[in-house]
Amino acid sequence: MLRVEPVERRELPAWIAKRLAAQGQRVADGEEGPRTLAFFADHVEGNLLAAHQELKKLALLHPSGTLSFDQVEVAVLNVARYDVFKLGEAVLAGQVARALKMLDGLQAEGESAVLMHWTLAEDIRALMRVKDAVTDGRPLPIALREARVWGAKERLYERVLPSLAGHQLAYLVEAASICDGIIKGLKHPEWPLDAWAALKRLMLLTMQPLVPSGGGESRGAAPRRTQLALNA
């Protein structure tokens, strides 16, 4: 048996750098290097075959030595392929730019809006179940197991739950219900009519309390619709 582990997004820059080194190439020193690798990773995420092809293209286009950001930007195509379940991880991690890019990519690939909503809403419901269980005195590891939260999401839940109050999760559950209705053709006066625009708003509302900011939400009132969400 040969076990092949997937290369996660956070591991992708190092994976690219290692393979560039194997063909005698490297990125520039200083700030430009990580920026170049991040650009490369963003354009090949979820598609290692295409990533390999883009690396070989760079070997053909440029000699051994240092690659500039401009050289990589011109050569590397956007061949990223996104996983709907990885979107949930990006949301829980508060990675706004990446989550928005993934949502747009999944829409362009023809993914079902119903599946997208189920993924986002299931995380919201699970967060609520775990929060309620912990409030009732259940140890967090047991609450996570009972909510069937495993792997990478288990670590993300452990990180985000302390920053989420019960009233915030109740608000998100209500928002998920509204979004579900919009996807099924219902209208809501405060929400966009388009299903994907509604999904974007639900996603931004979920990330709102998870993204560090200078002025946090009040713990004693329902979360405000910040400019981030209203622009969705």
Position 230 scores a pLDDT of 44
Residue with tokens 């690939």: 109
3 within domain boundaries: no
Our count of domains for the chain comes to 2
* 26 phi, psi to nearest 5 deg: -155, 165
**Do the domain assignments include residue 71?**
yes
55 Cβ partners below 8 Å, 6+ apart? 16, 19, 20, 23
pLDDT at 223: 40
pLDDT digit string (tens) for the chain, length 232 residues: 888 778 888 899 999 999 999 999 999 999 999 999 999 998 898 888 989 999 999 999 999 999 999 999 888 887 778 888 889 989 998 989 889 989 998 998 899 999 999 999 999 999 999 999 999 999 999 999 898 888 888 889 999 998 889 999 999 999 999 999 999 999 999 999 999 999 999 999 999 888 765 444 333 333 444 444 444 4
What is the per-residue pLDDT for 212?
64
Q: Quote the pLDDT of residue 220.
A: 35
The CATH number of whichever domain residue 48 belongs to comes to: 1.10.8.60
129 shares its domain with 71 = no
Residue 178's pLDDT is 96
Q: pLDDT at position 211, please?
A: 75
Q: How far apart are CA 37 and CA 39, in angstroms?
A: 5
Q: Which domain holds residue 70?
A: 9-75
Q: Is residue 149 part of a domain?
A: yes
Q: Mark whether 57 and 113 lie in a shared domain.
A: no
Pick from 75, 106, 125: which residue ends a domain?
75
The tokens describing 156, both together, are: 């993300």
Long-range Cβ contacts of 102-107 (<8 Å, 24+ apart): 103/196, 103/199, 103/200, 103/203, 105/80, 105/81, 106/82, 107/196
User: 20, 50, 75 — which closes off a domain?
Assistant: 75
pLDDT of residue 213: 56
Same domain, 67 and 113: no
User: Residue 232 in contact with residue 200, Cβ under 8 Å?
Assistant: yes
Q: Are residues 70 and 115 in the same domain?
A: no
pLDDT score recorded for residue 35: 93
Domain edge (last residue) among 75, 110, 133: 75
Task: Please tell me the distance from the alpha carbon of residue 40 to that of residue 73, in angstroms, as a whole number.
Answer: 8
pLDDT (0 to 100) of residue 112: 92
Q: Is residue 185 assigned to a domain?
A: yes
Answer yes or no: pTM beyond 0.85: no
